[in-house]
Amino acid sequence: MEAVLCFTELAGLFLSLIGYLCCLVALFIPHWLTFSSGLIITENYRLGLWQTCVVQDVGFSVCQEYQTPLHLPIQVRMGRVLVCLSVLIGALGFMASIPALTCVKCLHNRERLIRRMMNIFGGLLFLVAGALTFFSVSYFAYGTLIKFWNHNIPKDIPRWEFGDAMYTGWVGGFFLLSGGCVLIFSQFRVSQEAELKWP
């Protein structure tokens, strides 16, 4: 039964790792929103949490970092804070759960309660990190949709659209939530079954 517990814990950790890497990618790439003017077809504009870029079809791009956060929209500021918090909390989740894995011999077998509590705590941290990422990306998407469907703006005027980083953020939040749930489930289900079979 310890092999099943070890596999379940590793599965939860692996899902959380995928989500964590996706959140890191979404945090740093400037692809949260894309914009094509329609007048100059070869140029696209990309907006990220830290900079904006102009990308041409030939592969040439120019990026400029934001000078001051005071002039940024609230979506960008909230996205920065929440995704950075998600990355920090996710790192704490790894620090709490990796030493407590059944496969890792940092703790003795007699300290099962400590292992279980540390894994549950790590799973909860992954859940919080995933929820923060989901909320930040969804709030960003909501503001973009409101502006996109604004009836006061003529239909012929181009608008910002979702970029790859937003989809990456949603995927990262989903995997973090899934990994946290699997890690917590492994402690409540598999551990109880192991104790029932323990002589």
- What pLDDT is stored for residue 86 in this prediction? 94
In a domain, 48, yes or no: no
Q: Is the pLDDT of residue 73 over 90?
A: no
**H-helix or E-strand spanning residue 43:** strand 43-47
- Mean pLDDT, the chain, rounded, equals 81
In a domain, 185, yes or no: yes
- What pLDDT is stored for residue 22 in this prediction? 94
For residue 104, give the CATH number of its domain.
Answer: 1.20.140.150
Range of the domain at 114: 2-30+69-197
Q: Is the pLDDT of residue 56 over 70?
A: yes
In a domain, 56, yes or no: no
- What pLDDT is stored for residue 114 in this prediction? 82
Cα gap 45→52, rounded to integer Å: 7
In a domain, 151, yes or no: yes
Domains held by the chain: number? 1
In a domain, 148, yes or no: yes
In a domain, 61, yes or no: no
Highest mean pLDDT among 51-55, 83-87, 103-107, 157-161 belongs to 83-87
Region 106-127: mean pLDDT is 81
Q: Is 60 helix (H, G, I), strand (E, B) or coil?
A: coil
In a domain, 99, yes or no: yes
SS3 letters across 152-173? CCCCCCCCCEECHHHHHHHHHH
- What pLDDT is stored for residue 198 in this prediction? 43
Task: Tell me the whole-structure pTM to 2 decimals.
Answer: 0.83
In a domain, 100, yes or no: yes
